[in-house]
Chains A and B, each alone.
Chain A
Amino acid sequence: GAVVSQHPSWVICKSGTSVKIECRSLDFQATTMFWYRQFPKQSLMLMATSNEGSKATYEQGVEKDKFLINHASLTLSTLTVTSAHPEDSSFYICSARWQGAANSPLHFGNGTRLTVT
């Protein structure tokens, strides 16, 4: 079945530093990838939609200059949390849709737990 790999699975960084999270579709091409954030005991919140070869579309309230998204190929999207602060500590999850049928399921990575100290 379709697999989405997310790396790293967890990361601890100091306040003010930047962290890059990678999301790869391993056995299919994904023209669109989605980045979600999940705080403890809460549901997933969509941050942005990443389209291959074009700028990402950010949800209201998500700072595009803080959460840099690059979708340079059909199998890789990256999310960089710049100048991270403790309030950015969260579970970040990417997902990808096979570029086939419009109603095809989304495939999710296993998430990256970011802790900013």
Chain B
Amino acid sequence: DAKTTQPNSMESNEEEPVHLPCNHSTISGTDYIHWYRQLPSQGPEYVIHGLTSNVNNRMASLAIAEDRKSSTLILHRATLRDAAVYYCILRDAINNAGNMLTFGGGTRLMVKP
């Protein structure tokens, strides 16, 4: 799977929007962009994924650049419970046998009250 680059950490104030960036300049045409987050001492949980178009769900929004070489996860109103490590992962739905996820370093989001 192609590699992603994320900032090691970010800070946000509670109830403010948060934009978490991810660069994936070597993305291939069959790579989906997945975001997962891991709260302290828990397993990761799925947040959102997309291919080309922007996506919205109850947890977040995913904005994908037109050339697909970068994307941004948007939390519209950060809460203290959103403090976690956020992983941006490319997942080839066609050629990835078994469809496992390969985790990079992620971004540790800290939310200040």
- Chain A residue nearest in CB terms to B48: A105
Structural contact, B45 and A97, CB atoms closer than 8 A: no
For B25, what are the chain A residues with a Cβ–Cβ distance below 8 Å? none
Chain B interface secondary structure, helix, strand, loop or mixed? loop
Instruction: Report if A49 contacts B (CB, 8 A).
Output: yes
Contact of B42 among A46, A106, A107, A111 (CB under 8 A): A111
**Interfacial residues, chain A to chain B (CB-CB below 8 A):** 4, 6, 32, 34, 36, 43-46, 49, 51, 57, 91, 93-95, 97, 102-103, 105-111, 113
Q: Say yes or no for B101: interface residue by CB 8 A criterion.
A: yes
A91 CB contacts on chain B under 8 angstroms: 41
Q: Looking at the complex, which of B13-21, B60-68, B69-77, B92-100 is the stretch in contact with chain A?
A: B92-100
Answer whether A110 and B103 are a contact pair too, CB < 8 Å, given A32-B98, A105-B49: no
* B interface, CB within 8 angstroms of A: 32, 34, 36, 38, 41-46, 49, 87, 91, 93-94, 98-106
Main secondary structure of the interface of A (DSSP, over half): strand
Q: Report B73 CB to chain A, min CB distance, Å.
A: 15
Known contacts A102-B93, A108-B43, A110-B42; is A44 also within 8 Å of B103 by CB? yes
Question: Which of A6, A93, A102 has the most chain B CB within a 10 Å cutoff?
Answer: A102
Do residues B43 and A102 form an inter-chain contact, with CB atoms below 8 A? no
User: Measured between alpha carbons, how far is A102 from B34 in the docked complex, in Å?
Assistant: 13
A102 to B98, CA, bound (A): 8
Instruction: Take A43-B105, A43-B106, A111-B41 as given contacts and tell me if A106 and B98 are in contact as well, using a CB distance cutoff of 8 Å.
Output: no
Check if B43 sits within 8 Å of A93, measured CB to CB: yes
Question: Smallest CB-CB separation from A51: which chain B residue?
Answer: B98
Given A43-B105, A105-B34, verify A6-B98 contact (CB < 8 Å). no
Give the nearest-CB partner of B39 in chain A.
A110
